Every structure is written in C-alpha cells, then in structure tokens.
Structure 1
Amino acid sequence: MAKTLTPSTANQAGLSRSALYRATQDGRYERIARGIYLPTGAGPADWDWIEASTRRPDATICLTSALAHYDLTHTIPAALDIAIPRGSRTPAGSPSIAWHQFDRATFDVGRDEIAIPGTDLTIGIYSPERSIADGYRLRGDTGYEIARDALKEWLRRGGKPARLIEIASQLPRARGPILRALNALT
C-alpha cells in the first residue's frame, strides 16, 4: 500500500523536506499535486481523491461525483465534487476538484468513509440516498435531469423510498421535491 507524503510528513518516511525533493528528482517519488507525493510505481489510484483527502481530512465526495461512484448517473463530472463544512477554508488546488460548502449541522447526514484503493488514505462519501437528496435540493446547480435519472435508477435497483425520505427530511429544501418526484414515478 502506497504511503502518501507531503513535505510536512516526509519525516515519517525518514526523509527531510529536501530529501523528498531530491527523491522526486531522482524518480523515486512522483508529484501528484502541489505538495503531495506518492512512491513511483505505486499501484493505480485516483489522484483527485488523494489530493482532496490530503488537503482536507473531512473531504466528502458528493453530488454528481457520488452518484457516478454508485453508477446512478451516466453523467461524467467535469471535476470531482467534494463537500466540506461551511465556513471551512477552501483549499487551493487543482481545477479538477470542485469544492462545495455544506451546512455543518447536516454535514454528517448520510456520510460514510471509504478506503482510497492503492493508498493508506480514506475519504468521505455520501450515501446514494444523501446524494439523490442533494441532487434534488441543489438541482438549480447540478441540473434537473441528474437527480431525476439517479432516483429512477436507484428505485429500479430496489432502493427504499422510506430511507430516502428519512434522509431528505434532515436536509433543507429536499423533502418536498423528493415526495413530488416519488409520487410522479410510482
């Protein structure tokens, strides 16, 4: 399992900052983002997930990116959608990550942790139910079709509407649109 390093954590691998930079120049480490390094030859991993998790331990895959992870949409997100608690500092980073600030009071609703394959890191991800609810409540930003199509696919796979309504009831502006959509679809 590959150990992700930053200049401030290089000492955990027995390297000084300058030794990490030399190891990168020598080809022993690969720079995957500004200030984030993986050993050369590390197994395949999603570099955007690694960057988000390294920059913010509470980073959580959300919206279209979470729906794509669960194969509930055919839409390929232009950037990795990552939620962080509202009021947090949005990290500087690559344009391949879209940072979204979600209310602290509801941030952990439907949130799970998953391992990032090929690394020693984990990243948060919202459940399918939370992702659908967020799609409906933020449909002006994400698009109306994405949430509707994800809901149809989720129901086709045997999703439980009661669980979806339970999650939606904990989020602002989600319960009403989801109830109307479920009435229209069933």
Structure 2
Amino acid sequence: MGSAERSAADNGGLGVLPATFTYSQALSAGLTEWQLYRLRDHGLIEPVGRGLYRRHDAEAVDIDLIEVARRSPLATLCLTTALARHGLIDEIPSRIDVALPRGRHRPVTIAPVAWHSFDPATFDIGRTNLPLDLETSIGLYSPERSIVDAFRLRHREGPDLAYAALRRWLRQRGASPSRLLAMARQFPKVERPIREALEILL
C-alpha cells in the first residue's frame, strides 16, 4: 500500500468503513476518489457492484448475495435457490431466485438474478433471515414456504420441482405435513394439490 492509502486507513478512512460499503460512504469517511481507486488497484478492496465495494480483510462471503442484499433490503431467496439451500433439490441453480413484493423496484445487479414479484399480503409468510456477515443478511423462505411456492408456480417452474422437493422434505426429521398444510391454506388454490400429493407420498 502506498503512503496515501496508509494515511487514509490510519486516519479513519478505510479502517472505519464497514466490510461492504458504498462509494458515498468511502467519500464520507475521508477517502478521495483517487485513493479509493488505488485501494482497488492494490487489491485491498473488491468491487461488488456498481458503486459498491468490499474490504479485502473482511470474512469470505457469497459476494453475489451481498450485492443483492445491499441493493434491495427486502430481497428474499425463493424457489430453486431456497430449495437448494434447504437441501431439498440436487440442482445447483445457475441464477439466484429472488422475491420482492409486487410493485417494488428491481435493482440492476452484476449477480445473475431472476427477480420474482410476490403478493405483498403474503410476502412475509415463512420469511426468515439468512446472515451473510456481521453487517448484512438476506431474506430466505422456509422449507415449507419454498414448497408452497413451488406448487403455486408449478405451471411456470414445472411440476417435477415441487414434487421432488416435497418428497425429500418428507424424509427430513421434523417435517410436519400439518404445518405445511396450515401454510398452504393461506395461498389460494394450493392446499388441494399439496394435500393430494401428500396422500400419494405418505
């Protein structure tokens, strides 16, 4: 690191910035545009997205999820991405399925994201938080909600996804069909197909 960068870090520049920070935060911390780009060129910070950076000394994380979470605080992992995180499918998604309440802005990201618009009235049902680091978390739908969504959107995602996830979920310890059906009742037209699938699989 050159003297300018050392000075910036020692004088509360880079040193006081969070693990992930914006261009504006860097300027507010006392870094100049030139210093910021020098830190990037020296590998001390990494661009995460447009105007978004991460310190090199920060813990290793999924940079794509960090970008999504910082761009949209309500972003929630859903469908194949959530199912894969819960170990309910073997597929490794090539894109990140992310839900937002219908009508919310879909930010532009470097990360490969497939945005989905969910009804605001039911958006928070089964929504939990997945910590990414000490400062950032992203929404994640529970296994039950993810299965409900797979059935609800099976005309678009394909029925095999929903049935495969349900079959594997039933083999997990703690799987409660009654709890799944209770959640399904909150979504029109989903309870019956899930109930019929459970009758076949149980």
Taking structure 1 as the reference length, the TM-score comes to 0.91
1:149 aligns with 2:164: yes
Residues 8, 17 of structure 1: 8 Å contact kept:
no
| 1:82 to partner: Cα distance | 0.6
In 1, the alpha carbon distance for the partners of 2:155 and 2:94 equals 17
In 1, the alpha carbon distance for the partners of 2:140 and 2:32 equals 33
| 1:14 to partner: Cα distance | 4.4
Structure 1: stretches of 5+ with no match in the other structure: none
Q: Look up the SS of the partner of 2:124 in the other structure.
A: coil
1:121 aligns with 2:136: yes
State the one-letter code of the partner of 1:23: L
TM superposition outliers: structure 1 runs of 4+ over 4 Å: 11-14
1:91 aligns with 2:107: yes
For residue 87 of structure 2, the aligned residue among 66, 71, 74 is 71
The 3 A distance-change label for structure 1 pair 72 and 133 is same
Taking only aligned residues, the RMSD between alpha carbons, in angstroms, comes to 1.8
For residue 38 of structure 1, the aligned residue among 48, 54, 76 is 54
In 1, the alpha carbon distance for the partners of 2:172 and 2:65 equals 27
2:3 matched to which residue of 1?
none
Aligned residues: 184
For residue 176 of structure 1, the aligned residue among 189, 192, 198 is 192
Taking structure 2 as the reference length, the TM-score comes to 0.84
The one-character-per-residue Cα deviations of 1:147-184 (angstroms, maximum 9, x if unpaired) are: 11111111111310111111111123321211111111
In 2, the alpha carbon distance for the partners of 1:113 and 1:38 equals 21
Bigger RCO of structures 1 and 2 (CA < 8 A, at least 6 apart): 1
| 1:11 to partner: Cα distance | 4.6
1:102 aligns with 2:102: no
Looking at CA atoms only, which structure, 1 or 2, has the larger radius of gyration? 2
* Paired-residue identity, %: 44
1:136 aligns with 2:151: yes
In 1, the alpha carbon distance for the partners of 2:30 and 2:136 equals 19
